[in-house]
Amino acid sequence: MRKFFTSESVTEGHPDKVCDQIVDNILDAYLALDPESRVACEAAVKDNYLLIMGEITSKGDVDIEKIARDVICKIGYRSSHLGFCANDCEIKILISKQSADIAMGVDDSIEHRETEDKYDQIGAGDQGMMFGYASDETKNYMPYAIELAHKLSKKLADVRKDGTIPYLRPDGKTQVTVEYKEGEVKRIDAIVVSTQHDEDVDLATLRNDIINEVVLKIVDKSLLDKNTKYYINPTGRFVIGGPAGDSGLTGRKIIVDTYGGYAAHGGGSFSGKDPTKVDRSAAYYLRYVAKNLVAAGVSKKIEIQTSYAIGKAYPVSINIDTFGTGVVSDEKIVEAITSIFDLRPKAMIDKLGLSKPIYGKTSCYGHFGKPGLPWEECDKVIEIKKFLSI
């Protein structure tokens, strides 16, 4: 049976991603000075105006405005003719300290009042449900469509910055539709690329350059055929873009940030949040768990859900779905998860080193599937196989 699935990505110049990058770099700056910083920071952009808001409690003193301007400049918004410029955009900062009520639950969990276990010290910073996912359809254990969409978006930025296609501007989006047959990737059915560009560029030239310097440099040509459809700047014009063309807001690309729609999402965004916020740390840790399980051959793909209550260290619930690909029962898989992996916030933070300033590199082109990030390690494969006798 044929099945089609589509995922999208956006470039670093997309207004929402501008906001994500600003707040994650602010977070990194605080964590570099004080690993116990409590940060819940958001940003909004429109035209040449940037608002940074949230709650921060830290021993560190950070120049938030300078970080924001440096990020905007690095992205490529360096000229006023783009309508948004690092040098002269208006910045307003509204930052207060973390609520004492929230801090009480985070720094002294309900369980810690009854035990001396160090991993009971930190409770979840909020309630909510989080999901982790992995699939064996790529070497990075990511779904193919979202992985390819990210690579295309990243290539758009690369050819702009290195001068290969000098008339490109920072804003852009990509989209990939994959055809599956019997659960396996068969071909690429459609590729969509919309990229901001200078006003005087001929559309035919742009489409030719994008096909040859972006698409064909990234895509596995064996998955392309005569029926593959290409939509390059399908409206015909994309000159006004970035914050001048659309408002941007932190956390508005949560499906782009995760699995491209292949897996469920709990609704909480990642960027600008320190790791005591389980929206972020648990989602990262569950990716780590899921990837190790699939790498161990427990299933071809798996989705894991946990839920937390504010102030509690232990998750309220754990659920898994192997989509019929598991080699052992769901009950045994859950038993392996609870025996091998510690899902308490402090344990997750310590295991993955989440108090380190590592978040700037996550804020674009997906939080998962990138080699070198601690939640992408497969260091529990042997232990899982031994536990489940597989």
Confidence tier at 360 by pLDDT (50, 70, 90): very high
Q: What is the pLDDT of residue 246?
A: 96
Percent of the chain at pLDDT > 70 equals: 94
Confidence tier at 359 by pLDDT (50, 70, 90): very high
pLDDT at 219 over 70: yes
Q: Mean of the per-residue pLDDT values for the chain?
A: 94
d(CA 306, CA 349): 16
**pLDDT by residue (tens digit) across 315-327?**
999 999 999 999 9
Cα angle value 42/366/46 (rounded, 5°): 35
128-138+254-263+276-388 matches 2-8+143-241 in CATH topology: yes
pLDDT at 106 over 70: no
**pTM across the whole model:** 0.94
Query: What sign does the dihedral 163-167-168-170 (CA atoms) show?
Result: positive
Which residues, at least 6 apart from 294, have a Cβ–Cβ distance to it below 8 Å?
A: 134, 135, 136, 141, 300, 301, 302
Domain boundaries, the chain: 2-8+143-241, 128-138+254-263+276-388
Confidence tier at 210 by pLDDT (50, 70, 90): very high
3-state SS record for 125-146: CCCEEEEEEEECCCCCCCCHHH
Q: What is the pLDDT of residue 114?
A: 57
Second-level CATH architecture of 2-8+143-241: 2-Layer Sandwich (3.30)
Confidence tier at 267 by pLDDT (50, 70, 90): very high
Confidence tier at 116 by pLDDT (50, 70, 90): low
Of 87, 14, 15, nearest in space to 46 by CA = 15
Topology annotation, domain 128-138+254-263+276-388: GMP Synthetase; Chain A, domain 3 (3.30.300)
pLDDT at 185 over 60: yes
Count Cβ atoms below 10 Å from residue 316 Cβ, excluding itself: 13
